[in-house]
Amino acid sequence: MKNFSIAGLQLALSSGDNRDRIEREVSSALRRFPWVEMVVLPELASFGVALAAAETLPGPTEERYRALARKLGIWLVPGSLYERDGDRIYNSAVVISPGGEVVGRYRKIYPFLPYEVGVSPGTETLVFDVPEVGRFGVSICYDQWFPEVTRAMAWQGAEAIIHPTLTGTIDRAQELVLAQANAIVNQCYFVDINHAGALGSGRSIIVGPDGDVIHQAGEQNEVMPVTLDLERVRASRRRGIKGLGQMLKSFRDTRVDFPCYGAAAAESPSLRCLGPLTLPERGK
């Protein structure tokens, strides 16, 4: 197994057509850091938050990124875009191999409701293998607030989570904590790439399998090339974090059938009394 280099691109993009700029920025990053093997962009990087720009997949934007990955010989996760499938719209991320092949598409399981109106939830996690390196997973923004998403990918063997984000709100500080928590409790890398500028508050973060912050960006444009050593993940999972907690083994070995999962989740009186999932009202 070998180490694997990833560059996160924290960019100040717009709610318009950003595809030409993305192609320039990715190409520029590879000229500066030619050892990079994967490039990751923020959530909704191509068009911003414009539902009207939704495309079917496969589609023209995906094809552009396939050609770019093939030209540069890199793995590419170009953030996400709104995907139209019949009368539904999903927030979807695509993973493209150095040969330009789509190895997986992921639909965000937890749209940011009640704010991300008009977006349907996906129903399946995505993991994929980088040959001779290891297994990776993909989630998007609000997914990280739900520990089940990262745990499901870790259960499937994911050793690094690629996590495009679009956050320009005051809860970014909480997300930084969550990125570390997801890495710690699943003993994996967590690569959380946010927007700068009008769409985001920056502070992208890349966390190691012991919860160590490998890099945290500022609030401006930034290219973040880092090298992942997946043997760190395997050692952490075998021996425990700092030789102590071996959470995935304990999760594997437990015989508890947690009642908060499955059909029983809908029957919780304490959750039912919270009321509907709606925007807060003024004065209440």
Q: What is the pLDDT of residue 264?
A: 57
Distance CA(65)–CA(99), nearest Å, equals 11
Torsion of CA 26, 224, 182, 54, to 10 degrees: -20
- Helix or strand or coil: residue 51? helix
Alpha-carbon distances of 17 from 47, 50, 61, 67, 183, rounded to whole Å: 5, 10, 10, 18, 33
Q: Residue 247 has what pLDDT?
A: 94
- The Cα-based distances of 129 to 69, 71, 137, 281 in angstroms read 17, 21, 9, 45
Distance in angstroms (rounded) separating the CA atoms of residues 165 and 186: 19
What DSSP assignment string belongs to 200-262? -----EEE-TTS-EEEE--SS-EEEEEEE-HHHHHHHHHH-BTTTB-HHHHHHH-----TTSG
Predicted confidence at residue 263, as pLDDT, reads 66
Both tokens of 145, joined, read: 């607030």
CA torsion, ordered 93, 81, 165, 186, to nearest 10 deg: -20
Alpha carbon of residue 284 to chain centroid:
34
Per-residue pLDDT of the chain (284 residues; tens, 9 = 90+): 689 999 999 999 998 999 999 999 999 999 999 999 999 999 999 999 999 999 999 999 999 999 999 999 999 999 999 999 999 999 999 999 999 999 999 999 999 999 999 999 999 999 999 999 999 999 999 999 999 999 999 999 999 999 999 999 999 999 999 999 999 999 999 999 999 999 999 999 999 999 999 999 999 999 999 999 999 999 999 999 999 999 999 999 999 988 888 765 667 888 888 889 999 888 86
For residue 20, the tally of other CB atoms under 10 A from its CB is: 9
Cα–Cα distance measured from residue 77 to residue 162, given in angstroms and rounded to the nearest whole number: 8
Cα angle 67, 142, 148 (rounded to 5 degrees) comes to 105
pLDDT of 270: 84
> In 10 A of CB 257, how many CB atoms?
8
Contact 126, 95 (CB under 8 A): yes
Please give the domain boundaries of the chain with CATH numbers for all domains. 4-272 (3.60.110.10)
The pLDDT of residue 267 is 77
Residue 180 Cα distances to 32, 71, 101, 134, 243, angstroms:
28, 34, 31, 21, 18
Q: What's the one-letter identity of residue 283? A: G
